[in-house]
């Protein structure tokens, strides 16, 4: 683990210049790595692009390059080399030996960030599981690490195959146990969620590239005070809040973990449960940081993940955020002309009213609007409507109360059935 509580580790960030990729594109990947490394609590001392025709099996970079790097690392007293690629366990181990520094690859770095940011029990377990699965493939390395710690004391002839076996077994057992616990947590969550499926609240999930401003927008919309900071992955576990829309009506809004290009596959699997909220949402708000020159590329990555989650057909409104930072509004105007888009600044609040109205319209389209008339004395059914429907208006009469409610078709059917069975005096009338 990177020790973020002490003085930050000094890091050099390395990106290969591959033959088919332009120098500009590689530089942008390196810029993103700077962002990720800072988020992980590293002090970025230097960055370097290294030409690479083909990855070298033993050390990833070529031997001349590695020697030069080793010299620089020693001179500049660098603690960590971050490589913006997936290294094999062998490459990582060899590089650590030759560079005499800790070597972290892209997956390892993202795991570190996720581990530091996990909040809920489920999130923490998911990260541990992903990280154990990552370690499992790297056991050789963690074994050499153990050997170094023991300082060659020679426990029963020193750690050998037997020690690897023991470590392997321990990791396997822990993985097995975690998987079971996670299943249990997920079952409980599914149970807790069940009543919600019946509640006719329109569910909206915020999705988008990391740092796009989802949590800031979420806060603005809910005033819930959810953690928002200028670090990547500030949100790891989804948060859900009810939001009151102008002219009545409520939605359930959920904030989600930021997406990222090439999310390590171990994490995609581990975070599927976290993204369940996205998969069951009625509508997605795809938040885009329009002030980032890379925004188009990020939109593509996010769409890729949405496709993986099989939600590419869910109604999506693209929310161009951070418009307060734009020097010219030309791009914004061009993008807005495409439709199903809106420009906002989650920071200044600009554009939030139109966004709320847009949500209001979406709810209106998805839900049925009914006028319900019930006897004033019937407190039980009044409470039922408040609990199970979105009550837009209440008109108190002398003998009867009239409600304007919005509800999902399935809920309407169920409530009408109950009214009939119980023979209560409740009338429904559609409103357009
Ligand atoms: N100028 C400006 N900054 C913004 C705006 N919205 C968000 N930010 C800033 O952008 C940074 C990231 O915002 P977050 O809301 O944490 O982003 P996020 O999408 O939730 O990020 P992850 O949870 O890491 O995926 C913070 O420093 C915000 O203050 C905006 O409209 N304008
Ligand atoms: Mg966030």
Domain membership flag for residue 195? no
Are residues 104 and 126 located together in one domain of the fold? no
Q: Is residue 342 part of a domain?
A: yes
What is the pTM assigned to this prediction?
A: 0.73
Same domain, 322 and 382: no
Q: Which residues, in sequence order, are CB contacts of 311 under 8 Å at separation 6+?
A: 278, 279, 281, 284
Task: Based on the fold, state whether residues 354 and 292 are members of the same structural domain.
Answer: yes
Residues 126 and 170 in one domain: yes
The answer to whether the annotation marks 163 as part of a ligand binding site is: no
Closest CA to 144 of 162, 127, 160, 121: 160
Distance from residue 170's CA to the centre of ligand 1 (Å)? 40
CATH number at 93 reads 3.40.50.11060
- Residue 309 exposed, middle or buried by CB count within 10 Å (0-12, 13-18, 19+): middle
How far does the centroid of ligand 1 lie from the alpha carbon of residue 120, in Å? 21
Examine the domain organization and report whether 97 and 227 are in the same domain. no
CB of 350 closer than 6 angstroms to any ligand 1 atom = no
Non-local (6+) Cβ contacts of 259 within 8 A are: 207, 208, 209, 210, 301, 302, 305
Interatomic CA distance for residues 95 and 102, integer angstroms? 9
Q: Binding site annotation covers 104?
A: no
- For residue 402, give its domain range: 367-430
Pocket mutation for ligand 1, best pick of 221, 346, 352 (most atoms within 8 Å of C-beta)? 346
Return the percent helix, strand and coil in the chain, to nearest 5: 45, 20, 30
125 & 109 share domain: no
Last residue of a domain, one of 335, 364, 393: 364
CA 268, 32, 105, 3 torsion: positive or negative? negative
Residue 122 falls inside a structural domain: yes
Ligand number nearest to the C-alpha of 286? 1
CB-based burial label for 104 (10 Å; 0-12, 13-18, 19+): buried
**Residue 227 near ligand 1, beta carbon < 6 Å:** no
The partner residues of 289 in beta bridges, in order of sequence, read 321
Q: Is 355 in the pocket of ligand 1 (CB under 6 A)?
A: no
Phi, psi of 95 (to 5 degrees): -65, -40
Q: How far apart are CA 391 and CA 385, in angstroms?
A: 7
Check residue 370 and give its pLDDT: 93
Q: Please list, in sequence order, all residues whose beta carbon lies within 8 angstroms of the beta carbon of residue 339, skipping any fewer than 6 positions away.
A: none
Taking only the tens of pLDDT, the chain with its 432 residues reads 454 456 789 999 999 998 888 998 899 889 889 988 988 889 999 999 999 999 999 999 999 999 999 999 999 999 999 999 989 989 999 999 999 999 999 989 988 887 877 766 777 888 888 888 888 877 654 434 444 443 333 333 344 667 777 788 889 999 999 999 988 887 877 766 555 555 567 889 999 998 899 999 999 998 755 666 666 676 766 677 888 787 667 788 888 877 777 677 667 665 665 677 788 889 999 999 999 988 998 899 899 888 888 888 889 999 999 999 999 999 999 999 998 999 999 999 999 999 999 998 888 888 889 999 999 988 899 988 888 888 888 999 999 999 999 888 878 888 999 999 999 999 999 997
230 lines ligand 1 (CB under 6 A): yes
Name the phi and psi angles at 9, rounded to 5: -70, 140
351 and 226 within one domain: yes
List the CATH number of the domain containing 253: 3.40.50.300
214 C-alpha vs ligand 2 centroid, how far in Å? 5
Q: Would you say residue 42 lies in a domain?
A: yes
Q: Which ligand is nearest to the CA of 210?
A: 1
* 2 within some domain: no
Give alpha helix (H) positions in 137-248. Answer: 139-150, 161-198, 214-222
Domain limit, last residue, from 341, 364, 387:
364
Ligand 1 centroid–CA 225 distance in Å is: 13
User: What is the best residue among 32, 38, 205, 211 to mutate for testing ligand 1's pocket, by most ligand atoms within 8 Å of CB?
Assistant: 211
| Structure confidence at residue 60 (pLDDT) | 96
Tell me whether residue 234 is annotated as binding. yes
335 shares a domain with 223: yes
Q: Helix 409-422 vs helix 161-198: angle between axes, to the nearest 10 degrees?
A: 60
Verify whether ligand 1 is closer than 6 Å to residue 212 (CB atom): yes
Say how many domains are in the chain: 4
Beta pairing, strands 202-208 & 427-430? unpaired
How many whole angstroms from 213 Cα to the centroid of ligand 1? Answer: 3
Nearest CA residue ID for atom 11, ligand 1: 230
Per-residue confidence (pLDDT) for residue 141, from 0 to 100: 44
Whether the CB-CB separation of 331 and 370 falls below 8 Å is answered with: no
Of 141, 164, 186, the position where a domain reaches its end is 186
Q: What is the spatial order of strands in the sheet that 283-289 belongs to? A: 239-244, 250-255, 202-208, 283-289, 315-321, 341-343
Same-domain status, 210 and 320:
yes
Report how far ligand 1's centroid is from the alpha carbon of 49 (Å). 29
Domain check: are 262 and 349 in the same one? yes
Residues 260, 409, single domain; the answer is no
Ligand 1 in contact with 321 (CB < 6 A)? yes
The ligand placed nearest to the CA atom of residue 233 is 1
Is 337 labelled a binding residue? Answer: no
**Among candidates 274, 287, 214, which has minimal Cα distance to 238?**
274
Q: Is residue 1 part of a domain?
A: no
């Amino acid at each position: 683990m990177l020790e973020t509580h002490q003085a930050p580790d000094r890091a050099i960030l390395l990106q290969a210049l591959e033959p088919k990729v332009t120098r500009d594109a590689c530089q942008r990947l390196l810029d993103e790595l700077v962002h990720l490394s800072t988020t992980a609590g590293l002090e970025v001392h230097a960055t370097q692009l290294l030409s690479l025709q083909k990855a070298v099996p033993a050390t990833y970079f070529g031997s001349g390059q590695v020697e030069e790097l080793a010299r620089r690392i020693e001179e500049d007293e660098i603690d960590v080399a971050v490589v913006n690629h997936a290294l094999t366990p062998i490459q990582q181990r060899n590089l650590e030996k030759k560079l005499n520094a800790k070597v972290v690859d892209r997956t390892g770095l993202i795991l570190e960030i996720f581990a530091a940011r996990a909040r809920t029990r489920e999130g923490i377990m998911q990260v541990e599981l992903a990280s154990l699965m990552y370690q499992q493939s790297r056991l050789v390395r963690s074994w050499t690490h153990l050997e170094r710690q023991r300082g060659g004391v020679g426990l029963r002839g020193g750690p050998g195959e037997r020690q690897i076996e023991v470590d392997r077994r321990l990791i396997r057992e822990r993985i097995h146990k975690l998987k079971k616990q996670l299943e249990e947590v997920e079952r409980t969550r599914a149970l807790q969620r069940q009543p919600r499926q019946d509640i006719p609240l329109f569910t909206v999930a915020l999705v988008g590239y990391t740092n796009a401003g989802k949590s800031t927008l979420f806060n603005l919309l809910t005033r819930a005070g959810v953690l928002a900071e200028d670090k990547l992955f500030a949100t790891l576990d989804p948060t859900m809040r009810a939001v009151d829309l102008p002219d009545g009506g409520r939605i359930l809004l959920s904030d989600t973990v930021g997406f990222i290009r090439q999310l390590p596959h171990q994490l995609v699997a581990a975070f599927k449960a976290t993204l369940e909220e996205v998969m069951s949402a009625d509508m997605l708000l795809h938040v885009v940081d329009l002030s980032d020159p890379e925004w188009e590329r990020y939109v593509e990555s996010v769409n890729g993940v949405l496709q993986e989650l099989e939600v590419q057909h869910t109604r999506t409104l693209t929310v161009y955020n951070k418009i307060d930072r734009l020097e010219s509004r030309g791009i914004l105007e061009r993008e807005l002309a495409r439709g199903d888009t809106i420009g906002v600044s989650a920071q200044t609040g600009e554009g939030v009213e139109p966004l709320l109205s847009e949500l209001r319209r979406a709810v209106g389209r998805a839900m049925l609007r009914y006028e319900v008339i019930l006897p004033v004395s019937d407190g039980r059914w009044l409470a039922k409507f408040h609990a199970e429907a979105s009550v837009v208006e209440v008109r108190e009469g002398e003998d009867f109360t009239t409600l304007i409610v919005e509800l999902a078709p399935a809920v309407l059917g169920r409530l009408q059935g109950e009214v009939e069975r119980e023979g209560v005096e409740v009338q429904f009338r559609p409103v357009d």
